Protein backbone atom coordinates (compact mmCIF):
# COMPACT_ATOMS: atom_id res chain seq x y z
CA UNK A 1 0.00 0.00 0.00
CA UNK A 2 1.34 3.42 -0.98
CA UNK A 3 0.05 6.61 0.59
CA UNK A 4 1.18 9.97 -0.67
CA UNK A 5 0.59 13.13 1.44
CA UNK A 6 2.48 16.22 0.24
CA UNK A 7 5.40 16.96 2.56
CA UNK A 8 8.15 19.50 2.82
CA UNK A 9 11.05 19.78 5.23
CA UNK A 10 12.45 22.61 7.31
CA UNK A 11 15.27 22.88 9.81
CA UNK A 12 17.56 21.63 7.05
CA UNK A 13 21.20 22.10 7.84
CA UNK A 14 21.93 23.67 4.47
CA UNK A 15 19.18 26.31 4.63
CA UNK A 16 21.80 28.97 5.38
CA UNK A 17 23.12 28.48 1.85
CA UNK A 18 19.97 30.20 0.56
CA UNK A 19 20.75 33.36 2.52
CA UNK A 20 22.87 36.03 0.88
CA UNK A 21 24.24 37.20 4.22
CA UNK A 22 24.22 35.50 7.62
CA UNK A 23 21.91 36.82 10.32
CA UNK A 24 23.71 39.42 12.44
CA UNK A 25 22.11 40.95 15.51
CA UNK A 26 22.78 44.19 17.34
CA UNK A 27 21.80 43.32 20.90
CA UNK A 28 21.11 45.57 23.86
CA UNK A 29 21.91 44.55 27.41
CA UNK A 30 19.52 42.15 29.10
CA UNK A 31 17.06 43.99 31.33
CA UNK A 32 14.91 42.54 34.10
CA UNK A 33 11.17 43.19 33.80
CA UNK A 34 9.35 43.17 37.14
CA UNK A 35 5.64 43.33 38.00
CA UNK A 36 4.42 46.94 37.84
CA UNK A 37 2.64 46.56 41.20
CA UNK A 38 3.56 44.81 44.47
CA UNK A 39 2.89 41.06 44.37
CA UNK A 40 2.71 38.38 47.10
CA UNK A 41 6.05 37.20 48.47
CA UNK A 42 5.68 33.49 49.10
CA UNK A 43 7.06 30.03 48.39
CA UNK A 44 4.62 28.07 46.23
CA UNK A 45 4.95 24.30 45.77
CA UNK A 46 4.52 22.86 42.31
CA UNK A 47 2.34 19.80 41.69
CA UNK A 48 3.54 16.23 41.33
CA UNK A 49 3.20 16.45 37.53
CA UNK A 50 5.06 19.80 37.54
CA UNK A 51 7.85 18.25 39.62
CA UNK A 52 8.58 15.52 37.07
CA UNK A 53 12.35 16.01 36.48
CA UNK A 54 11.79 15.46 32.75
CA UNK A 55 9.84 18.73 32.63
CA UNK A 56 12.45 20.83 34.45
CA UNK A 57 13.62 22.59 31.28
CA UNK A 58 13.10 25.94 29.60
CA UNK A 59 10.96 25.39 26.49
CA UNK A 60 11.79 27.92 23.79
CA UNK A 61 9.35 28.99 21.09
CA UNK A 62 9.68 31.74 18.45
CA UNK A 63 6.66 33.64 17.13
CA UNK A 64 7.02 35.53 13.84
CA UNK A 65 5.09 38.74 13.13
CA UNK A 66 4.99 40.67 9.86
CA UNK A 67 4.98 44.46 9.82
CA UNK A 68 1.47 45.89 10.19
CA UNK A 69 1.51 49.63 9.56
CA UNK A 70 -2.31 49.78 9.38
CA UNK A 71 -2.65 49.07 13.09
CA UNK A 72 -2.15 51.73 15.79
CA UNK A 73 0.16 49.29 17.57
CA UNK A 74 1.99 48.72 14.29
CA UNK A 75 3.46 52.20 14.58
CA UNK A 76 4.92 51.40 18.00
CA UNK A 77 8.16 49.74 19.06
CA UNK A 78 7.18 46.07 19.61
CA UNK A 79 9.91 45.53 22.21
CA UNK A 80 8.74 48.45 24.32
CA UNK A 81 5.08 47.51 23.92
CA UNK A 82 5.66 43.88 24.97
CA UNK A 83 7.96 44.90 27.81
CA UNK A 84 5.28 47.19 29.27
CA UNK A 85 2.56 44.57 28.79
CA UNK A 86 4.75 41.95 30.46
CA UNK A 87 5.22 44.18 33.51
CA UNK A 88 1.43 44.50 33.80
CA UNK A 89 0.54 40.86 33.19
CA UNK A 90 3.12 39.69 35.76
CA UNK A 91 0.90 41.23 38.44
CA UNK A 92 -1.54 38.40 37.68
CA UNK A 93 1.06 35.75 36.79
CA UNK A 94 3.45 36.80 39.55
CA UNK A 95 4.92 33.28 40.06
CA UNK A 96 6.51 33.64 36.60
CA UNK A 97 8.50 36.60 37.92
CA UNK A 98 10.06 34.33 40.55
CA UNK A 99 12.66 31.58 40.52
CA UNK A 100 12.27 27.80 40.43
CA UNK A 101 13.66 26.14 43.56
CA UNK A 102 14.19 22.55 44.65
CA UNK A 103 13.03 21.62 48.14
CA UNK A 104 14.92 19.23 50.41
CA UNK A 105 12.59 16.37 49.45
CA UNK A 106 13.36 16.92 45.75
CA UNK A 107 10.02 18.53 44.85
CA UNK A 108 9.99 21.76 42.91
CA UNK A 109 8.52 25.09 43.86
CA UNK A 110 8.52 28.77 42.95
CA UNK A 111 10.15 31.41 45.10
CA UNK A 112 7.78 34.31 44.40
CA UNK A 113 10.19 37.14 45.12
CA UNK A 114 9.40 39.37 42.10
CA UNK A 115 13.00 38.98 40.91
CA UNK A 116 11.65 39.60 37.41
CA UNK A 117 11.95 38.21 33.89
CA UNK A 118 15.10 38.53 31.72
CA UNK A 119 14.24 40.51 28.58
CA UNK A 120 16.58 40.98 25.62
CA UNK A 121 16.04 43.35 22.72
CA UNK A 122 17.88 43.00 19.41
CA UNK A 123 17.87 44.46 15.90
CA UNK A 124 18.59 42.28 12.86
CA UNK A 125 20.55 43.23 9.73
CA UNK A 126 17.91 41.92 7.30
CA UNK A 127 14.23 41.63 6.50
CA UNK A 128 12.17 38.68 7.69
CA UNK A 129 11.41 37.74 4.08
CA UNK A 130 15.11 36.96 3.54
CA UNK A 131 14.74 34.29 6.26
CA UNK A 132 11.44 33.07 4.72
CA UNK A 133 9.78 34.14 7.98
CA UNK A 134 11.79 31.36 9.66
CA UNK A 135 10.21 28.63 7.52
CA UNK A 136 13.18 26.41 6.76
CA UNK A 137 15.42 28.05 9.35
CA UNK A 138 18.30 25.99 10.70
CA UNK A 139 18.68 25.40 14.41
CA UNK A 140 21.85 27.49 14.98
CA UNK A 141 20.16 30.52 13.40
CA UNK A 142 16.95 29.98 15.36
CA UNK A 143 18.98 29.84 18.56
CA UNK A 144 20.17 33.40 17.91
CA UNK A 145 16.58 34.57 18.36
CA UNK A 146 16.08 33.32 21.92
CA UNK A 147 17.58 34.19 25.29
CA UNK A 148 18.93 31.05 26.91
CA UNK A 149 18.73 31.43 30.66
CA UNK A 150 18.50 27.73 31.47
CA UNK A 151 21.74 27.31 33.42
CA UNK A 152 21.75 23.84 35.06
CA UNK A 153 24.43 24.92 37.53
CA UNK A 154 22.29 27.63 39.12
CA UNK A 155 20.44 26.76 42.34
CA UNK A 156 17.49 28.87 41.21
CA UNK A 157 16.35 29.33 37.62
CA UNK A 158 14.10 31.88 35.99
CA UNK A 159 10.69 30.52 35.05
CA UNK A 160 10.37 32.84 32.05
CA UNK A 161 12.59 34.71 29.57
CA UNK A 162 11.88 36.88 26.52
CA UNK A 163 13.72 38.13 23.45
CA UNK A 164 12.29 40.52 20.86
CA UNK A 165 14.22 40.88 17.59
CA UNK A 166 13.21 43.70 15.21
CA UNK A 167 13.85 43.34 11.48
CA UNK A 168 14.39 46.00 8.82
CA UNK A 169 10.95 45.36 7.29
CA UNK A 170 9.15 46.39 10.48
CA UNK A 171 8.34 42.82 11.45
CA UNK A 172 9.72 41.11 14.51
CA UNK A 173 10.19 37.79 16.25
CA UNK A 174 9.27 37.07 19.83
CA UNK A 175 11.28 34.31 21.48
CA UNK A 176 9.66 33.03 24.67
CA UNK A 177 11.37 30.62 27.03
CA UNK A 178 8.96 29.20 29.60
CA UNK A 179 9.65 26.55 32.21
CA UNK A 180 7.74 23.35 31.46
CA UNK A 181 7.69 22.75 35.22
CA UNK A 182 5.37 25.75 35.61
CA UNK A 183 3.14 25.50 32.50
CA UNK A 184 2.09 22.89 30.01
CA UNK A 185 1.20 23.87 26.45
CA UNK A 186 -2.32 24.89 27.41
CA UNK A 187 -1.04 27.00 30.31
CA UNK A 188 1.63 28.63 28.15
CA UNK A 189 -1.03 29.48 25.56
CA UNK A 190 -3.23 31.01 28.26
CA UNK A 191 -0.37 33.20 29.52
CA UNK A 192 0.66 34.23 26.00
CA UNK A 193 -2.89 35.28 25.12
CA UNK A 194 -3.09 37.28 28.36
CA UNK A 195 0.11 39.09 27.40
CA UNK A 196 -1.33 39.96 23.98
CA UNK A 197 -4.61 41.17 25.49
CA UNK A 198 -2.82 43.58 27.83
CA UNK A 199 -0.53 44.73 25.00
CA UNK A 200 -3.64 45.62 22.98
CA UNK A 201 -5.05 47.78 25.76
CA UNK A 202 -7.08 45.51 28.04
CA UNK A 203 -6.75 46.40 31.71
CA UNK A 204 -6.60 42.74 32.78
CA UNK A 205 -6.58 39.26 31.22
CA UNK A 206 -9.97 37.86 30.23
CA UNK A 207 -9.04 34.55 31.92
CA UNK A 208 -7.69 34.97 35.45
CA UNK A 209 -4.82 32.60 36.30
CA UNK A 210 -5.47 29.92 38.92
CA UNK A 211 -2.65 28.24 40.88
CA UNK A 212 -4.20 25.40 42.96
CA UNK A 213 -1.29 23.02 42.34
CA UNK A 214 -2.36 21.06 45.43
CA UNK A 215 -5.12 19.55 43.29
CA UNK A 216 -2.54 17.41 41.48
CA UNK A 217 -0.39 16.14 44.34
CA UNK A 218 0.37 12.42 44.40
CA UNK A 219 1.16 9.91 47.12
CA UNK A 220 3.63 7.04 47.32
CA UNK A 221 2.34 3.80 45.80
CA UNK A 222 2.16 0.81 48.14
CA UNK A 223 2.41 -1.76 45.37
CA UNK A 224 5.58 -2.22 43.25
CA UNK A 225 6.04 0.10 40.29
CA UNK A 226 5.01 -1.27 36.92
CA UNK A 227 6.37 0.28 33.75
CA UNK A 228 4.89 -0.21 30.24
CA UNK A 229 8.26 -1.56 29.09
CA UNK A 230 10.91 -3.09 31.35
CA UNK A 231 14.57 -2.49 30.66
CA UNK A 232 15.30 -6.07 29.59
CA UNK A 233 12.65 -6.13 26.83
CA UNK A 234 13.11 -2.56 25.58
CA UNK A 235 14.10 -2.22 21.92
CA UNK A 236 17.53 -0.79 21.16
CA UNK A 237 18.95 1.13 18.21
CA UNK A 238 22.48 0.86 16.79
CA UNK A 239 22.36 4.66 16.38
CA UNK A 240 21.81 5.43 20.07
CA UNK A 241 23.34 6.84 22.22
CA UNK A 242 24.93 9.67 20.24
CA UNK A 243 25.58 13.40 20.52
CA UNK A 244 24.76 13.98 16.85
CA UNK A 245 21.05 14.82 16.65
CA UNK A 246 19.12 16.05 13.59
CA UNK A 247 15.93 18.11 13.94
CA UNK A 248 13.47 18.22 11.05
CA UNK A 249 9.84 19.07 10.45
CA UNK A 250 7.57 17.55 7.80
CA UNK A 251 4.53 19.38 6.43
CA UNK A 252 1.34 17.48 5.53
CA UNK A 253 -1.55 19.30 3.84
CA UNK A 254 -5.21 18.64 4.75
CA UNK A 255 -6.03 16.80 1.51
CA UNK A 256 -3.14 14.42 2.00
CA UNK A 257 -4.07 13.69 5.60
CA UNK A 258 -7.63 12.94 4.55
CA UNK A 259 -6.35 10.55 1.88
CA UNK A 260 -4.26 8.74 4.51
CA UNK A 261 -7.31 8.42 6.77
CA UNK A 262 -9.48 7.09 3.96
CA UNK A 263 -6.89 4.49 2.95
CA UNK A 264 -6.63 3.24 6.53
CA UNK A 265 -10.39 3.20 7.09
CA UNK A 266 -10.79 1.21 3.88
CA UNK A 267 -8.07 -1.15 5.06
CA UNK A 268 -9.86 -1.67 8.38
CA UNK A 269 -13.04 -2.96 6.63
CA UNK A 270 -15.19 -1.03 9.09
CA UNK A 271 -17.33 1.63 7.42
CA UNK A 272 -18.33 3.02 10.82
CA UNK A 273 -14.70 3.52 11.85
CA UNK A 274 -13.34 7.06 11.91
CA UNK A 275 -9.70 7.94 12.51
CA UNK A 276 -8.31 11.26 13.73
CA UNK A 277 -5.21 12.99 12.44
CA UNK A 278 -3.30 12.25 15.65
CA UNK A 279 -4.17 8.56 15.40
CA UNK A 280 -3.30 8.15 11.72
CA UNK A 281 -0.17 10.28 11.50
CA UNK A 282 0.89 9.13 14.96
CA UNK A 283 0.79 5.50 13.86
CA UNK A 284 2.67 6.20 10.64
CA UNK A 285 5.37 8.27 12.36
CA UNK A 286 5.79 5.64 15.09
CA UNK A 287 6.33 2.86 12.55
CA UNK A 288 8.57 5.00 10.32
CA UNK A 289 10.68 5.99 13.31
CA UNK A 290 11.16 2.36 14.39
CA UNK A 291 12.31 1.46 10.89
CA UNK A 292 14.66 4.42 10.64
CA UNK A 293 16.22 3.63 14.01
CA UNK A 294 16.62 -0.06 13.06
CA UNK A 295 15.16 -1.14 16.40
CA UNK A 296 15.64 -4.87 17.05
CA UNK A 297 12.54 -6.78 15.95
CA UNK A 298 11.98 -8.72 19.18
CA UNK A 299 12.34 -5.62 21.38
CA UNK A 300 9.38 -3.60 22.61
CA UNK A 301 8.56 -0.05 21.54
CA UNK A 302 5.98 2.34 22.96
CA UNK A 303 3.88 5.26 21.75
CA UNK A 304 2.91 7.64 24.56
CA UNK A 305 0.26 10.21 23.65
CA UNK A 306 0.05 13.23 25.96
CA UNK A 307 -3.63 13.75 26.88
CA UNK A 308 -4.91 16.85 28.65
CA UNK A 309 -7.04 16.08 31.73
CA UNK A 310 -8.36 19.50 32.81
CA UNK A 311 -11.93 18.50 32.02
CA UNK A 312 -11.46 14.76 32.57
CA UNK A 313 -10.66 15.02 36.27
CA UNK A 314 -13.47 14.63 38.78
CA UNK A 315 -14.03 17.38 39.77
CA UNK A 316 -12.57 19.23 36.75
CA UNK A 317 -9.78 21.75 37.19
CA UNK A 318 -10.97 25.38 37.26
CA UNK A 319 -10.74 27.60 34.22
CA UNK A 320 -7.47 29.51 34.40
CA UNK A 321 -5.39 26.62 35.78
CA UNK A 322 -2.05 26.96 33.99
CA UNK A 323 0.04 24.17 35.47
CA UNK A 324 0.81 20.81 33.87
CA UNK A 325 -2.41 18.85 33.56
CA UNK A 326 -1.78 15.92 31.24
CA UNK A 327 -1.07 12.21 31.50
CA UNK A 328 0.15 9.66 28.99
CA UNK A 329 -1.90 7.02 27.19
CA UNK A 330 0.30 4.13 26.11
CA UNK A 331 0.46 1.57 23.32
CA UNK A 332 3.20 -1.08 23.47
CA UNK A 333 4.17 -3.38 20.59
CA UNK A 334 7.15 -5.45 19.65
CA UNK A 335 9.01 -3.85 16.77
CA UNK A 336 8.06 -6.83 14.61
CA UNK A 337 4.35 -6.31 15.39
CA UNK A 338 4.56 -2.60 14.69
CA UNK A 339 6.33 -3.22 11.38
CA UNK A 340 4.20 -6.08 10.07
CA UNK A 341 0.66 -5.49 11.35
CA UNK A 342 -1.71 -3.49 9.11
CA UNK A 343 -1.29 0.15 10.03
CA UNK A 344 -5.05 0.44 10.57
CA UNK A 345 -4.72 -2.00 13.50
CA UNK A 346 -2.05 0.22 15.09
CA UNK A 347 -4.37 3.21 14.63
CA UNK A 348 -7.16 1.33 16.44
CA UNK A 349 -4.83 0.56 19.34
CA UNK A 350 -3.96 4.25 19.64
CA UNK A 351 -7.66 5.17 19.49
CA UNK A 352 -8.44 2.69 22.26
CA UNK A 353 -5.58 3.92 24.45
CA UNK A 354 -6.97 7.48 24.36
CA UNK A 355 -9.94 6.29 26.43
CA UNK A 356 -7.74 5.46 29.42
CA UNK A 357 -7.39 9.03 30.80
CA UNK A 358 -11.20 9.38 30.88
CA UNK A 359 -11.01 7.20 33.98
CA UNK A 360 -10.34 9.32 37.09
CA UNK A 361 -8.65 6.34 38.78
CA UNK A 362 -6.21 6.07 35.86
CA UNK A 363 -5.30 9.76 36.16
CA UNK A 364 -4.75 9.53 39.92
CA UNK A 365 -2.70 6.35 39.58
CA UNK A 366 -0.51 8.08 36.97
CA UNK A 367 0.09 11.01 39.33
CA UNK A 368 0.90 8.61 42.20
CA UNK A 369 3.31 6.75 39.90
CA UNK A 370 5.11 10.02 39.08
CA UNK A 371 5.36 10.80 42.79
CA UNK A 372 6.79 7.33 43.51
CA UNK A 373 9.33 7.64 40.69
CA UNK A 374 10.41 11.02 42.07
CA UNK A 375 10.69 9.83 45.66
CA UNK A 376 12.64 6.73 44.66
CA UNK A 377 14.88 8.92 42.45
CA UNK A 378 14.34 6.75 39.37
CA UNK A 379 15.83 8.39 36.27
CA UNK A 380 13.72 8.50 33.11
CA UNK A 381 15.82 9.16 30.02
CA UNK A 382 15.52 9.02 26.26
CA UNK A 383 16.12 5.57 24.81
CA UNK A 384 14.76 5.73 21.22
CA UNK A 385 12.45 2.83 22.16
CA UNK A 386 9.60 5.23 22.90
CA UNK A 387 7.96 8.16 21.16
CA UNK A 388 6.17 10.79 23.24
CA UNK A 389 3.64 12.56 21.02
CA UNK A 390 2.18 15.93 21.96
CA UNK A 391 -0.25 17.94 19.86
CA UNK A 392 0.06 21.76 19.77
CA UNK A 393 -2.63 22.30 17.14
CA UNK A 394 -5.42 22.92 19.66
CA UNK A 395 -3.57 25.75 21.43
CA UNK A 396 -4.68 28.39 18.89
CA UNK A 397 -1.29 30.12 19.03
CA UNK A 398 -1.34 31.08 15.35
CA UNK A 399 -4.99 32.16 15.19
CA UNK A 400 -5.71 34.18 18.31
CA UNK A 401 -2.54 35.81 19.65
CA UNK A 402 -2.41 39.38 18.28
CA UNK A 403 -0.16 42.09 19.74
CA UNK A 404 -1.42 44.61 17.18
CA UNK A 405 0.53 43.14 14.26
CA UNK A 406 -2.25 40.64 13.45
CA UNK A 407 -1.76 36.95 14.14
CA UNK A 408 1.75 35.58 13.92
CA UNK A 409 2.60 34.06 10.55
CA UNK A 410 4.78 31.32 11.96
CA UNK A 411 5.62 29.55 15.19
CA UNK A 412 8.90 27.67 15.56
CA UNK A 413 9.84 25.40 18.48
CA UNK A 414 13.56 25.60 19.19
CA UNK A 415 14.53 22.00 20.03
CA UNK A 416 14.60 21.41 23.76
CA UNK A 417 16.37 18.55 25.46
CA UNK A 418 13.48 16.55 26.84
CA UNK A 419 14.17 12.82 26.93
CA UNK A 420 17.43 13.36 25.07
CA UNK A 421 15.47 15.04 22.23
CA UNK A 422 14.97 11.68 20.53
CA UNK A 423 11.76 10.47 22.21
CA UNK A 424 9.77 13.66 21.62
CA UNK A 425 7.49 14.30 18.61
CA UNK A 426 5.43 17.48 18.18
CA UNK A 427 2.38 17.97 15.99
CA UNK A 428 2.32 21.68 15.13
CA UNK A 429 -0.16 23.91 13.31
CA UNK A 430 0.98 24.93 9.81
CA UNK A 431 2.41 28.40 9.30
CA UNK A 432 0.18 31.07 7.76
CA UNK A 433 2.62 31.52 4.88
CA UNK A 434 1.25 28.86 2.51
CA UNK A 435 -2.55 28.88 1.89
CA UNK A 436 -2.38 25.29 0.60
CA UNK A 437 -1.35 24.18 4.09
CA UNK A 438 -4.55 25.42 5.75
CA UNK A 439 -5.74 22.74 8.22
CA UNK A 440 -2.53 20.81 7.61
CA UNK A 441 -0.02 19.53 10.17
CA UNK A 442 3.69 19.94 10.77
CA UNK A 443 5.37 16.94 12.37
CA UNK A 444 8.54 17.86 14.25
CA UNK A 445 11.03 15.12 15.17
CA UNK A 446 14.54 14.85 16.57
CA UNK A 447 16.52 11.72 15.75
CA UNK A 448 20.10 10.46 15.73
CA UNK A 449 21.68 12.02 12.65
CA UNK A 450 22.53 8.64 11.14
CA UNK A 451 18.87 7.55 11.19
CA UNK A 452 17.32 10.71 9.73
CA UNK A 453 17.88 9.84 6.02
CA UNK A 454 15.84 6.65 6.39
CA UNK A 455 13.11 8.49 8.31
CA UNK A 456 13.00 11.14 5.59
CA UNK A 457 12.69 8.34 3.03
CA UNK A 458 9.72 6.94 4.97
CA UNK A 459 8.11 10.36 4.86
CA UNK A 460 8.85 10.68 1.14
CA UNK A 461 7.04 7.37 0.62
CA UNK A 462 3.90 9.31 1.52
CA UNK A 463 4.60 12.07 -0.96
CA UNK A 464 1.91 12.90 -3.46
CA UNK A 465 3.17 14.23 -6.78
CA UNK A 466 1.50 17.41 -8.05
CA UNK A 467 0.29 15.57 -11.13
CA UNK A 468 -1.40 12.86 -9.07
CA UNK A 469 -2.85 15.49 -6.74
CA UNK A 470 -4.39 17.42 -9.62
CA UNK A 471 -5.85 14.31 -11.17
CA UNK A 472 -8.01 13.50 -8.17
Domains and CATH numbers, the chain: 11-215 (3.30.559.10), 229-471 (3.30.559.10)
Q: Going residue by residue through the chain (472 aa), what tens digit of pLDDT does each one get? A: 333 333 334 444 334 444 456 899 999 999 999 999 999 999 999 999 999 999 999 999 999 999 877 765 556 899 999 999 999 999 999 999 999 999 988 899 999 999 999 999 999 999 999 999 999 899 999 999 999 765 544 567 999 999 999 999 999 999 999 999 999 999 999 999 999 999 999 999 999 999 999 999 999 999 999 899 999 999 999 999 999 999 999 998 898 898 899 899 888 877 677 899 999 999 999 999 999 999 999 999 999 999 999 999 999 999 999 999 999 999 999 999 999 999 999 999 999 999 999 999 999 999 999 999 999 999 989 999 999 999 998 887 666 667 778 888 999 999 988 888 999 999 999 988 888 888 899 999 999 999 999 999 999 887 653 334 443 3
* Closest C-alpha among 172, 198, 173, 214 to residue 93: 198
| Distances 12 to 142, 212, 249, 402 between C-alpha atoms, Å | 12, 42, 9, 29
Q: Which of 180, 184, 247, 391 is catalytic?
A: 180
pTM of the model: 0.90
What is the three-class DSSP state of 428? strand
CA atoms within 13 A on the CB side of 155: 3
Q: Which of 150, 391, 402, 423 is catalytic?
A: 402
Q: 180 an active-site residue?
A: yes
Residues 6+ apart with CB under 8 A from 127: 167, 168, 169, 171
Q: Are strands 58-65 and 117-124 parallel, antiparallel or unpaired?
A: unpaired
Torsion angle, CA of 452/455/461/465, rounded to 10 degrees? -40
Amino acid sequence: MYLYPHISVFYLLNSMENMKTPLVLDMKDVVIVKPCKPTPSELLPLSTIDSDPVLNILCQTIYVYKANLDSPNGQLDPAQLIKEALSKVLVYYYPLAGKIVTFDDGKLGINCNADGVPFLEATANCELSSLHYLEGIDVPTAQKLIINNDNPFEDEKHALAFMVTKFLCGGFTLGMGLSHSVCDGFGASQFFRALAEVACGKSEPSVKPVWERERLMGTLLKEPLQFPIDETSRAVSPFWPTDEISHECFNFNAKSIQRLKMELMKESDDVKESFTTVETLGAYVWRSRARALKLNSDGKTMLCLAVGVRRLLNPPLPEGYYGNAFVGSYVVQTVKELDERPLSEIVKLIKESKKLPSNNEYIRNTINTLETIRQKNIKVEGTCASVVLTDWRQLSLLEEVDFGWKASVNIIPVPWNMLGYVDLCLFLPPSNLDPSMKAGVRVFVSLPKASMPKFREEMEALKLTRADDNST
